[in-house]
Every structure is written in structure tokens, then in C-alpha cells.
Amino acid sequence: MIRFFSRFLFLAFALSAASSLQAQDDESVFASANRDFEAGDFEAAALKYLSLVEKGRVSPELYYNLGTARYREGKPGEAMLWLRRASVVDPGMPEASQNMEFLRERLAFLEFADSRLDAALRALPPTFGKWLWTVALWVALIALAAAFCLRRLHPNRSGLVTFAVVAGMIAVVGTRISSYRRDHLALENFATVTESDTSALTAPAPAAKSVIDLPPGSEVRILQETGNWRYADIPGDVRGWVRAEKLEPVWPVSRSSR
Amino acid sequence: MPRFFPSLLAFCLAFANGPLDAQQSGDSKVSANVLTDRVAVGEFGTLIIKVTGGETAAPEGVATEGLEIVKSGSQSSITIADGKQSLVTSHFYRFRGNEPGAYEIPPVELSVRGESVTTKSIPVEIFERSPEDEARSPTREFFAKLEVSRDEFYVNEIVPFNITAYVRGRNAISQVLSPTLDHESFVSKGFRDVRTDGGDMGNTYYSSAVIDSHLFALKPGRHRLGPGELGVRILDSRGGFGLSIFPRTVTRELSTDVVDVTVKPLPNGAPASFTGGVGYFELSAKASATEVNLGDPVSMEIEVKGVGNLRTLGPPAFSVPQKGIWKTYEASKTLEDEDESDGFKPGRAVFSQVIIPEAKVGEIPAYELAFFDPDTEQYVTRHTEPIPISISVNADRNRSAPAAISFPPNAEAGESFERAETPTASYSDMLHIRTGRPRWVAEAELSSTGLPFLVAQILFSLGLFTILGIGAARGIARVRSARSDAAPILTFAQSLKRLPKAGTTRREFYRAASTSLMLWKSEHPEAPGEVHDVVARVSERCEAYLYGGSEDGTEPVSKPEVEEFRSILHRLPRR
């Protein structure tokens, strides 16, 4: 028993040490990228930040700095993309919000305007709907089961049944919230225009007519993927086809992300 | 005709303001320049004599050996500075030579307000154009020419140039359209005034239209200017219903030749107050008030006059830093189009700046402006004179405690205050990167429900299935109980109906009778004592038979015995 316990402790220590060394290594790369940035070598800084992204590191500071470096490189669309990602990881990050406001004034790109409902739902945790409907459904089932299976609760049977019905209705609301969030608010549906000279077209063909110009940094909601084209919902109740290489999903961050 | 308008305007202004000489600046200045000092044989060059500070009569021609110099027009403008008017007149001359060689335009003597002034002599070169240069061949019906006043100059230096369209025939040019001269390394001012002229070239008479402008270079190096483009509307006397009084016009696009120029970089060692000025400038300043309270704003007006790049010139600054003494705000520049310098004519720019005294001092310090003078090829620094000022300390402003007590102002006493505006953020640039340690976040934290969700599902399902299990166990127990009591006797009355008949075994009969009696006893505990005694005796009889062990119980019960028990049981009282 003692032997097993000592082996377990050794393994845990080894894993912890390896993780700590990895974090230190990543922080030194981050610091080196910061020095490149401050020396004015924005391209080298961006490459170092990207190397951390490709390793799967997620950090609001990393995404924020990468966005700032991309802007200094003259790539405002990618700058906006990384600042949005920084805001996903840390929704209260004021630096990212301020720089996004700066880009908003400078680029005049298109963005979805949140309704009050959208804003309220965005303020909730992403898994709120899922938690709500599952917990409410369990509570309804347990109340029903208790009403009919537990003799002591037979006198309260009608109250328990009423409670179960209310819980069932809450579960329905939870499923609606969950599906609305998945279809309209889920980050996986959104993409940012990273290239200049981008337009939404009437059909997935290069010769199709333009619907609207999409300045770098514009936000679209992907509705359908067809080959190299994406059918997108565009702010202003407009829809059109956009070349896939002009877009980059906001989340999840691809490890081969630009 | 258009060339007479400026003169007419100048004359009218001068007349309207009274005798010009009475108010104008006392400085008279005369200068002479040529637009280009290399002119091909038979072609025209341009000489400009500029007179500042008074009216003068310029000669109609200048006699020079080997050169023909004839006056082609004049242009006047009035500048007003410090309440003084200054008349600037430019006289334009055409010159040409018929033999190649080096010539000199001699000094021209003029009389300005009774004073005799003389221009400097200007060397020019008349050269033979190569035969393959078709662009300016006199055999062509029309062509255009680009002339730049200097082929070597400094970055930001204002350089006059002109584009001239030539069309064969007298009065052949009706209109000049859209002249352009584009180059990424140069900024040229828009073309405005057109001077028309004409003259013999070879044995052919050409009408010409000259469009003056000026440019400055953005970066040093060897550059090729041109070709410039312009359109001309040419009178075609062949059209118009056969009548020459309705001439038809045709539009032709002309391209000029190119001119190679060298743009020199500004030398190193610029003074701290150098703000990009190249030319020659004068500086003056005046204050909006010379008696103020401490903390009151003073509006400064700094005027820069001279020949040079006023459009790109930065504002002058205090010659000595005034931190803690004068608080300064960003200066704004006012430069009207008509006040801009064209390289010959001096211009005027006014910088306005708000300054606030933070200490009690006796004067507004001198402003300083450094610029590069391309003539002397040196940096020159100009200073304004310090302006005496009286600054008083406002007792109310400096008395902090009473000020705090009296705030907000007493409306009944008529006090008022200016409501300050809440400053708003201006997003003029991106914030710097974050240089601290990054916070590493596990990706799974962002969107997945994770382990707590799984644990919750397990706990809820355990609770549900526990309750269901309890219910199921109860149900099973009930079913089993029901199966074990196949024919349960529920009441005494029912037991009487199921009492066996005669012929069944005696044991079975007595057991049923005993059960009936027990049911009666349980259902009638309040019955009279004598009835209970009877029931007890009958029960003892049954039990004695059933549990006495004397009989085997398999013999059939007789009918009288059955009737006896039935009669007893039926007589028992019931509720």
C-alpha cells in the first residue's frame, strides 16, 4: 500500500513539474514577443504569439497582444479577430474593448447589434440553458416519482404534481434558451472578415453580383458551408455568399490559425 | 483679357483705399527670375520681374545682344499685413535667342515711388534642340512645354513652374482644360491663372497659353518630372456654317516634355525650433490681452510671412521652455489660398495658440522659428519680441477654502458659474500591449459543461431511481400479499355465506365456523356480555375439536350439526 502511494505521489510530482516547466517556457516566449513588439518588429512579435496559439495556449493577454501586433502590421481585420477572441476568453477585458472601439471608429465595419434579449442571454454563462432544462427536468421527474412512490407524501400528492408541472415548463424554457443560444449567439457560428476588398455576393460564384462590401473586421453569422463559400447572415438583415478564405471563425481558435 | 483683371482689381482696391503710398509698407523690393535658364533656339523663355511695395512702369522690352526680350503682360496683387497694404506687381517677359550660346539678361532699372532700383543680371543658355526631339518641332500644329524654374532644389522648397500650350495661328486657343502634372514625390498646387500670348517661332506664328503653378518635393533624389497633360480647345475657322464669325472648336489633348530635376535633402544640424520650413520667412506675434488674471487664457497670434512652404510649415514655439510658467495648447494654422506663396510672391500664414499663465511673470516670452534658407543653404532662426504683460493674482481664485464654501453659487445673489463639460474619451490610437504575465486559461473552461454537470446528472438520477425503487418494492410486496391471500374473508356476513355445507370434512367446517366467530367478535366488541359468553362457548367447542387432537377431522360433517351452527351464527346480533 505504501509502495503504491509513493508511486502515485512521484507521478503526480513529475506531471506537476513538467506542467510548470512548460508554462515557464511559454511565458519566456511571450516576454520575447513583447520585446520584439516594443522594438518595433511587429511581424516577429506576431509570429511568436502565434507559436503559442499553435501550441494550444489560451490567454486573454496573448490574444490581445496578437491583435495589437496585427494592427501595427497593417492587418486590421485580423487585429479585430484576435481582440474579439480576447473578449471571449475574458469578457471584461477593458483593453480589448477599448482597442475594438478604436478599430470600430477607424474601419467602420459591420457588426450585429444585440437586442436586449441577446444582451441578457450573452451575460449568462454559455451553459446556462443546458443546466436549466436538465435540472428542471430532473426536479419534475423526482417530484412526480415522490408523489406516487412515497407513501408519506401521499397527502401532498397534488402539490407535488403541480410543482412537477411548473418544473417541466421551466425545462421547456431552458431548452428554448439553449437552442436560441446555439442558433443565434453561439460563437461557433460567427466569423470575422480578415481580408480587405471583401464583398458578399448573390451566389457562390466569383462572377456573381455584389450584395454589400464587407470592410475588414466585419462580423457575419455562418448559415451554411458549401465548398469554398460560406452563406452568411450579415448585419442589417442581409444575406450573401462570402469566400471562405476571407473569413475566420471567432471560436474555436484553430491551432493553424493565422 | 483675363490678364487685365488682376491689374484692374489692384487699381480699384488702391483707389478705394486712398493713396496707396500713404499706407503701404515703406520697404520696396525688386527681383527678377527666369522660369528656366536653358531655352532651345527659337523657343520662348519666361522672365518675371517682381516689384513689391509700389507701382512702377516696366519697360516694354529689354535690349540685349543676341536675345529678344518683349513684355507679355503683368499681374498685381495687394497684401495687407499689420494694417499696411503692400502692392506686388509681376511683369512677365518673353525672351528667345536665335543662336546657341551663353547670354545674360542685363539688369533692368525701374523707378519705384521715385527711387531707382535695379534687378540683378541673369545668365541664360540658348541651346540647339536635337533633331529627333519631335515634341517641340515648329512643324507641328500644336505642342506643350513644361518649364521648371530650377532643376536643383531642396526638399520642401517651393519651386515655380509652368505648362505652356502652343497652337499654330493667331488667337488659336479658345480654352485650356484640366492641366495636370502628377508625380508621387512631388506636391503641386492646382493650376489657376492662364496667360495667353503669342509669337513667331521660326517663320510661324504660334498662340500660347501659359498656366503657372508651383510644386515642392517630398523626398530627395533624382526625379523626372512630367510629362504634364492638358487639353486645349482650338479654334477651327473651317467650321461654323462656313462663316468665320462662328468658329468651331476642337479639343486636343497635349503632353509636355519631361524635365529631370535633382532634389537635395535638407542638411543635418537643424535647430530644435525647425518645423520643416524651407524658404525665407519673417516672424511676428501679438497677444489678445496684455492685462490678465493668473489662469486666464491669452490668445496668441503668430504671423509668418515670406516666400516658402507655408502650407507644410509647422508652428513656432517658445524659444525657452516655459513649463510651470505658461501652459500652452496646440496651435492652429490659418492659411488662405490667396495668401500662399508661389515661390516668387511672399505669402502669409497665421498661427493661433492659447496660452495660460501659471505664474506671475512680466512678459510673454519670445517665439522662435527656424527654417532652411535655400539661397544661403543655411538654417536661419527668427525670434519675435517678448510682449510685456501684466498678470494679477485674483484673490477669489486663489482662496480655496472660501471658494469651496461658496460653491454652488448663490442664485439669489446673482452668482453664476460656467458648467464644465465632462471630457469624453477619444480613441486616437490603439493601447499598448500587455506586458505582464499572461493568464493561461484551459480551453475546456470556456464552453463545455464539464465535470459538475456530469456529477449533477448522476446525483439526480440516483435520487430518482431511489424513489422509483422504493415505489417498485412496495408494489411488488403488495402483489405478493395479494397472491398469498387468494380468498380473503373480509366481514362476518361474508363468512356466513361461505360456511361449508353438510358433507364437507368436519375440520374444514369447524375452521370456517371458528373464523366466523372471530370475525363477529372483532366486529362487535360492544355486544352484550351474555352474547359474548355464548360466542365464547361455541368458539371453545370449535377449538376443542380443531386443536384437541382426538379426532382426525376427515369424517364428513352431519347436516344437523351444520344446521345447529348456522342457527347459532345467524341469531347473533349484527350492527
Higher pLDDT, A234 or B29: A234
Q: Do you find a cis peptide bond into B488, omega within 30 degrees of 0?
A: no
Chain B: give the shortest CA distance to residue A60, in Å. 7
**Per-residue pLDDT at A10:** 62
Number of H helices, E strands in chain A: 8, 7
**Per-residue pLDDT at B543:** 87
Number of H helices, E strands in chain B: 10, 33
Nearest CA in chain B to A42: B433
What is the C-alpha to C-alpha distance for residues B44 and B206, in angstroms, rounded to an integer?
11
Q: How confident is the model at residue B464 (pLDDT cuts 50, 70, 90)?
A: very high
Residue B92 cell numbers, joined: 512677365
- Determine whether the interchain pair B440/A26 forms a contact, defined as Cβ–Cβ distance below 8 Å: yes
The 8-class DSSP code of residue B409 comes to P
| A61 and chain B in contact, CB less than 8 A | yes
pLDDT in tens, B48-105: 888 877 777 788 888 888 888 888 888 777 766 556 667 778 888 888 887 888 998 9
Backbone angles phi, psi at B82, to 5 degrees: 55, 35
- Determine whether the interchain pair B430/A102 forms a contact, defined as Cβ–Cβ distance below 8 Å: yes
What is the C-alpha to C-alpha distance for residues B348 and B282, in angstroms, rounded to an integer?
9
Amino acid in the structure at residue B151: D
> Residue B3: is its pLDDT beyond 70?
no
**Per-residue pLDDT at B399:** 43
> Residue B21: is its pLDDT beyond 50?
no
Chain A: give the shortest CA distance to residue B444, in Å. 10
Plot region of B501 (φ>0 → left; ψ -120 to 50 → alpha; else → beta): beta
**Per-residue pLDDT at A145:** 93
Nearest CA in chain B to A24: B437
pLDDT in tens, B524-564: 888 888 888 989 999 998 888 888 876 677 888 889 989 98
Decide: helix, strand or coil at residue A110: coil
Higher pLDDT, B554 or B192: B554
Of the candidates B569, B559, B567, the residue with the CA atom closest to the CA atom of residue B516: B569
In DSSP terms, B292 is beta-bridged to: B391
Residues of chain A with pLDDT under 70: 1-23, 255-258
In DSSP terms, B93 is beta-bridged to: B47, B71
pLDDT in tens, B236-273: 765 444 445 566 778 888 888 888 899 999 988 888 88
- Determine whether the interchain pair A61/B438 forms a contact, defined as Cβ–Cβ distance below 8 Å: yes
The 8-class DSSP code of residue B110 comes to E
**Per-residue pLDDT at A18:** 59
In DSSP terms, A226 is beta-bridged to: A229
Of the candidates B46, B147, B48, the residue with the CA atom closest to the CA atom of residue B90: B48
List the single range of B38-47, B101-110, B218-227 with lowest mean pLDDT: B38-47
- Determine whether the interchain pair B471/A23 forms a contact, defined as Cβ–Cβ distance below 8 Å: no
Q: Which residues of B touch A (CB under 8 A)?
A: 425, 427-443, 446-449, 453, 456-457, 460-461, 463-464, 467-468, 470-472, 474
**Per-residue pLDDT at A75:** 92
* Contact residues, A window 104-123, toward B, CB-based 8 Å cutoff: 105-106
| A90 and chain B in contact, CB less than 8 A | yes
Q: How confident is the model at residue B361 (pLDDT cuts 50, 70, 90)?
A: confident
Does an H or E element contain B454, and which?
A: helix B450-484
Residue-by-residue DSSP string for B183-198? -TTEEEPPP--EEEEE
In DSSP terms, A238 is beta-bridged to: A234
Kindly list the residues from chain B whose CB atom is less than 8 angstroms away from the CB atom of residue A20: none
- Determine whether the interchain pair B427/A98 forms a contact, defined as Cβ–Cβ distance below 8 Å: yes
**Per-residue pLDDT at B402:** 40
Compute the average pLDDT of residues B339-365: 85
Per mean pLDDT, which of A59-63, B101-105, B307-311, B438-442 is the most reliable? A59-63
CA distances from A116 to A91, A174, B128 (A): 17, 18, 82
Of the candidates B109, B98, B106, the residue with the CA atom closest to the CA atom of residue B123: B106
Higher pLDDT, B216 or B10: B216
**Per-residue pLDDT at B137:** 56
**Per-residue pLDDT at B8:** 40
Residue-by-residue DSSP string for A191-204? EEE-SSSEEEESSS
Q: Average pLDDT over chain B, rounded to whole? A: 79
What whole-number percentage of chain B has pLDDT above 90?
9
Q: How confident is the model at residue B463 (pLDDT cuts 50, 70, 90)?
A: very high
Q: Which of B428, B440, B474 sits opposite A57 (nearest CB)?
A: B440
Q: Which of A101, A106, A142 sits opposite B464 (nearest CB)?
A: A142
| A213 and chain B in contact, CB less than 8 A | no
Decide: helix, strand or coil at residue B162: strand
B240 Cβ contact list (under 8 Å, min separation 6): B246, B247, B248
When scoring A35, A36, A58 by the number of chain B Cβ atoms within 10 A, the one with the most, hence best to mutate, is A58
Question: The pTM is what?
Answer: 0.39
Strands (E), chain A: 190-193, 198-201, 210-214, 219-226, 229-234, 238-243, 247-249
Q: Which of B429, B436, B447 sits opposite A126 (nearest CB)?
A: B447
Other beta carbons within 10 Å of A153: 15
Compute the average pLDDT of residues B219-237: 83
Sign of the four-CA dihedral B304, B305, B307, B312: positive
- Determine whether the interchain pair A99/B449 forms a contact, defined as Cβ–Cβ distance below 8 Å: no
Higher pLDDT, B450 or B502: B502
Of the candidates B286, B251, B525, the residue with the CA atom closest to the CA atom of residue B384: B286
Q: Which of B430, B442, B471 sits opposite A71 (nearest CB)?
A: B430
Do B343 and B158 touch, CB atoms closer than 8 A? yes
**Per-residue pLDDT at B375:** 85
**Per-residue pLDDT at B1:** 39
**Per-residue pLDDT at B240:** 46
| A39 and chain B in contact, CB less than 8 A | no
Kindly list the residues from chain B whose CB atom is less than 8 angstroms away from the CB atom of residue A151: 474
pLDDT in tens, B384-398: 988 988 888 764 444
Q: Which of A68, A127, A142 sits opposite B467 (nearest CB)?
A: A142
Residue-by-residue DSSP string for B127-154? EPPPTT-GGG-TTSSEEEEEEES-SEEE
List the single range of A181-185, B299-303, B353-357 with lowest mean pLDDT: A181-185
> Residue B118: is its pLDDT beyond 70?
yes
Residue B289 cell numbers, joined: 490681452
Burial of residue A40, with CB atoms counted within 10 A of its CB: 0-12 exposed, 13-18 middle, 19 or more buried:
exposed
Residue-by-residue DSSP string for A38-96? HTT-HHHHHHHHHHHHHTT---HHHHHHHHHHHHHTT-HHHHHHHHHHHHHH-TT-HHH
CA distances from B52 to B22, B75, B113, B284 (A): 15, 12, 11, 20
Q: How confident is the model at residue B117 (pLDDT cuts 50, 70, 90)?
A: confident
What whole-number percentage of chain B has pLDDT above 70?
82
Plot region of B540 (φ>0 → left; ψ -120 to 50 → alpha; else → beta): alpha
